[in-house]
């Protein structure tokens, strides 16, 4: 499955970071992922106000890594 993989850090403690995955519908490709990413991670950021997105990428993940 294709996903937007973001690294987000706590605003209150920038050294504390976590990786989060936002799944993209199956059948997508990296171009589609990159085009959808800004709206997807903007929504994620709105729902996680204490976190700041440090970096992101599109990648393939398996069910056991979600």
- pLDDT of res. 63: 67
- For the chain, 66 residues long, the average pLDDT of each consecutive 10-residue run is 92 96 79 88 93 93 62
Hunting for tokens 């706590």 — which residue is that? 10
- pLDDT of res. 65: 46
What does each C-alpha distance from 54 to 5, 7, 32, 63 come to in angstroms? 11, 6, 21, 24
pTM: 0.79
- pLDDT of res. 26: 64
């Amino acid at each position: 499955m294709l996903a937007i993989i973001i690294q987000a850090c706590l605003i209150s403690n920038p050294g504390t970071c976590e990786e989060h995955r936002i799944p993209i519908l199956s059948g997508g490709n990296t171009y589609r992922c990159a085009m959808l990413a800004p709206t997807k991670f903007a929504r994620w950021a709105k729902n996680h106000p204490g976190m700041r997105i440090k970096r992101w990428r599109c990648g393939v993940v398996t069910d056991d890594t979600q």
